[in-house]
Amino acid sequence: MRVLAHPAERSQDTRIGAPAWREAAQAMSRTAHILTDRCGQEAVTMWQPKDSVLDPNVAHHLGRAAYIQPWRFRVEMLKGGSTVEKPLPGEGVTLWKGKMKPPAWYARLPLPLHRKARALQTTEVVHAHARGARLTAARLGRAQHQINGRVRQLLRQREVTDHRLSEVRKGLLINQQSVKLRGYRPKSEKIPDKADSMLTWEKEELKSMKRKMEKDMEKSEVLLKTLASCRDTLNFCFKERLQAVDLMNQPLDKVLEQAGRHSWVNLSRAPTPRTQGQKTPPPDPVGTYTPECALALNEAKRLLVESKDTLVEMAKNVVDVREQQLQISDRVCASLAQKANETLELKERLNMTLGLMRGTILRCTKYNQEMYTTHGLIKGPLLKVHLETGEKLDRPLVRMYQRHVGTQLPEAARLAQGTDKLQRHITHLEKNLDELLAKHKNLTWGLNCKNIGHEVDSSVVRLRLRQRQPHVCYEQAQRLVNDWDPRTPPPRSKSSTDP
């Protein structure tokens, strides 16, 4: 017996619902699922970075493993063959236990602690500004302290240079005294010699040294004014930076120690290439390290280096000038002493010659007196009555012999000839004696000139040795040049004339 089936039973689909109804439900489900996934993805995406979104075509565990793979530590090979795991460089939180370092996470939406976080951020900004201002103030204060120290060093060096300049000026006065004192020698002793050349050379050298010292004084004065101006600028910037750190109770030296920069502590020290610590921030017009502060610190650094070189140069010039002046003074004193010794030798020779001439004059005078006596004896007495009988030319024996013309005796002629010859010798002897006396007088005058020249040169040497002592100041030497005259005795003080 045949059984008739329902048309619906003859189809393959055994579902009762209509396909349109079912497709409408499935479409609604798919739309809801897509909306759910999109909203969930968008909600998650708001709290995580863009690059953390996984690929929908990759399994979740595989995508996560591929995403966190760059976070893991790197394995490095050491020289000995061993290995070591090190975290990646850059920002992030290092998870030593998991041996990974995820990057820093930045939220896209404000968190519930957004207000507190912003307050903390503001506090950090204020504290960072205060720390920067405090560090800048510490650097400015330390720079000001170093500039003050360099100013003190420069002032002390200027005192030393000024003292040396006064010694050079005193040397010029001593040279003037020496020339003035040697000007009182006799005319015969004023013939130009090497001692005069040495005094002229000493004067030129002392003038050169004086100009050199004056140039150092002018240079140091300009540098001192520049250092004072830089110090005022540093003080102004220092007080301006301190306005932001009035409530910061921390020593400024401690700030420099925390910075870890030795070059900040000592500006004159060259910064090392491998510095462990904070770096010098770039100048910022609205920041803590303003261009004015940077310019003031750079100017202070330049002036410290320049002043250091200037101090070294000034100290070297002072030592060189002192040694050179001492050597020149010793050479001039040696030349004057040698001139005094040569004068002494000539004086001794003149004295010996004068003694020999004195003996010759005495012998010639005595011989002249004897010649006069002989002349008187030969010439006879002044009156005829004083003659003895045996000495008269008209005695009886002579008259008897001279009765004839051819028997004249030569006694009278011989007496006349002897008297005339003796008179000529006396005249010649007197002429020689006059020449000897004139020469003796000339030698005596020359000996006195040599004695004066020797005393003057010796006095000049003693004066130079006494005046160049450190306890003799420039004013004393100047008064001696202006008031002292060696030809007159020194004036007596008022206290010595009072009864």
- 187-212 pLDDT, tens digit each: 888 888 888 999 999 999 999 999 99
- Return the structure tokens found at 17: 């619902």
Question: String of b and e for 275-295 (b: at least 16 CB within 10 Å)?
Answer: eeeeeeeeeeeeebbbeebbe
- 60-78 pLDDT, tens digit each: 678 778 878 888 888 888 8
∠ CA 327-333-337, rounded to 5°: 145
- 465-492 pLDDT, tens digit each: 888 887 777 777 777 666 555 555 444 4
Residue 41 is assigned to a structural domain of this protein? no
Residue 100 is assigned to a structural domain of this protein? no
SS3 22: helix
Q: What is the pLDDT of residue 494?
A: 45
Residue 488 is assigned to a structural domain of this protein? no
Least confident of 245-249, 301-305, 418-422: 245-249
∠ CA 105-106-110, rounded to 5°: 135
Residue 105 is assigned to a structural domain of this protein? no
Q: What is the pLDDT of residue 479?
A: 72
- Return the structure tokens found at 449: 């000139």
Cβ atoms of residues 150 and 307 within 8 Å: yes
Separation between Cα atoms, residue 196 and residue 339, nearest integer Å? 10
Separation between Cα atoms, residue 273 and residue 270, nearest integer Å? 9
Residue 1 is assigned to a structural domain of this protein? no
Q: Which residue has the higher pLDDT, 275 or 447?
A: 447
Mean pLDDT along residues 33-59: 73
Q: Which residue has the higher pLDDT, 276 or 429?
A: 429
Q: What is the pLDDT of residue 118?
A: 85
- Return the structure tokens found at 360: 């010759």
- Return the structure tokens found at 270: 């060259």
Q: What is the pLDDT of residue 468?
A: 81
Q: What is the pLDDT of residue 489?
A: 47
Residue 304 is assigned to a structural domain of this protein? yes
Environment class of residue 122 by beta-carbon count within 10 Å: exposed (0-12), middle (13-18) or buried (19+)? Answer: exposed
Least confident of 12-26, 95-109, 149-163, 381-395: 381-395
Q: What is the pLDDT of residue 401?
A: 66
311 has a pLDDT exceeding 90: yes
Residue 21 is assigned to a structural domain of this protein? no
**Domains contained in the chain, number:** 1
Residue 103 is assigned to a structural domain of this protein? no
Q: What is the pLDDT of residue 317?
A: 93
What range defines the domain where residue 301 resides? 115-266+289-482
Least confident of 188-202, 352-366, 379-393: 379-393
Q: What is the pLDDT of residue 411?
A: 67
